[in-house]
Amino acid sequence: MSSRSMISGIQSRVFRVPLEEPMQDARHGLQTHFELVTAEITTSDGQTGTGYTYTIGTGGHATKAMIDHDLAPMLIGHDADAIDQHYDEMQSRLHYVGRGGIASFAISAIDIALWDLRGKSRGLPLWKMAGGAGKTPLTYRGGVDLNYPLEKLVKSVGGYIDQGFVAVKIKVGKPDLAEDVARLHAVRERIGPAHKLMVDGNFGYDLDQAIAAAKAFEPFDLTWFEEPMEPDDFAGYGQLAKATTVPLAMGENLHTLQEFKHAFEHSSLSFIQPDASNCGGVTGFLRVAKLAEARGIPVCSHGMQELHVSLVPAVPNAGWLEVHAFQIDRYTHRPLVVENGRAVAPDEPGSGVRFNWQALEEADRA
């Protein structure tokens, strides 16, 4: 940036967006809406950057309050391009009440807006600013489908393959393990041996149950078993990894760098899945990616595919991009582009995520 651009205003909004149909996993109950919290940062030289985070239905207003009352006063009047400095300052000032949780969501929305501004100022797309290693990540379609009867599950997963996806993920965690096994059997049969298959337990198991499930899932050639147990049970993951050949993945519920460090230290993960909407935005995601790179662990993503499409492939240790069932990209001017089974990052300067505000307002009113 040639001359310094100062943050002059931050406007936040919350939208409650209905899902096309109710969705369910092992632990979060039936989900009918997601909340989108947006933060628009304006600068002294007349630029606007947009950031956002989302929730699975609760906490959006608390996140907005933290942006309005705590983060905006901290940032207004300061250099918009001092992103790392702002990141550390936000983390340290909110540490006492936050240390993860709502604070991490609020920081994420602001951080993404700052990166959007930086990209616009420098004329660079996010995938280049984030490392530039690539722009077409390995891509899979993740279902939120634990409530689907078997026939509907198979149809839904088959639909993803028919749309051109080469990898799919289903939810597991039925009260009777035999039912999960029957579902996996039917899904593997439908997609065939060439396509990749992942499962997600949404921390529905304790260690003994997770070991039993992982062993029962071994014949299905899974790419990973995601979040079988409570995300804080770092040592439990380490024990589970010793008991099964199925690779383990998690990260969507780790919100601080410290939590990721614990996971790398103790959990024997084969994949890490940070979510830039809740681990500190682009800055948080890239810091996690660096830690993972040092350990040779591929970085994947959770949700928010319209943004993560520019982050996952950009780092040297790129893993898989999740195409999540919460389709925020429906409310943007560039819904996710997938070609030959791989998503493609946008080349426009900034984050590449521009909201269709009118569509969001209409959805919120519906």
Active site residues: 171, 302
Site stretch for Mg ion (CB under 5 A), options 90-98, 195-203, 209-217, 324-332:
195-203
For Mg ion, the nearest residue by Cβ is 200
CB of 354 closer than 8 Å to CB of 332: yes
Rounded to a whole number of angstroms, the CA Rg of the chain reads 20
Specify the residue, 81 or 200, whose C-beta has the smaller distance to Mg ion: 200
CB of 212 closer than 8 Å to CB of 225: no
End-to-end CA distance of the chain: 42
Site stretch for Mg ion (CB under 5 A), options 178-186, 198-206, 234-242, 274-282:
198-206
Distance CA(33)–CA(268), nearest Å, equals 34
Quote the strand ranges of the chain, DSSP E.
Answer: 7-24, 30-43, 48-55, 138-142, 167-171, 196-200, 224-226, 248-250, 271-272, 320-323, 337-339, 342-344
- CA angle at 343 for the pair 152 and 142, rounded to the nearest 5°: 30
Distance CA(216)–CA(82), nearest Å, equals 50
Edge-first strand listing for the sheet containing 7-24: 7-24, 30-43, 48-55
Site stretch for Mg ion (CB under 5 A), options 89-97, 196-204, 238-246, 280-288:
196-204
Site stretch for Mg ion (CB under 5 A), options 15-23, 193-201, 217-225, 350-358:
193-201
Smallest gap, in angstroms, from Cβ of residue 170 to Mg ion? Answer: 11
Smallest gap, in angstroms, from Cβ of residue 2 to Mg ion? Answer: 43
Specify the residue, 71 or 297, whose C-beta has the smaller distance to Mg ion: 297
How many residues touch Mg ion under the rule CB under 5 A: the total is 1
Smallest gap, in angstroms, from Cβ of residue 74 to Mg ion? Answer: 32
Q: What single letter denotes the amino acid at residue 56?
A: I
- Under the criterion CB under 5 A, does residue 111 sit at the interface with Mg ion? no
Q: Which residue(s) pair with 138 in the sheet?
A: 320, 342
Distance CA(24)–CA(29), nearest Å, equals 6
Specify the residue, 40 or 200, whose C-beta has the smaller distance to Mg ion: 200
Smallest gap, in angstroms, from Cβ of residue 78 to Mg ion? Answer: 35
Choice from 40, 70, 200, 233 touching Mg ion (CB under 5 A): 200
| 95 phi, psi to nearest 5 deg | -55, -45
Query: Which chain residues interact with Mg ion by CB under 5 A?
Result: 200
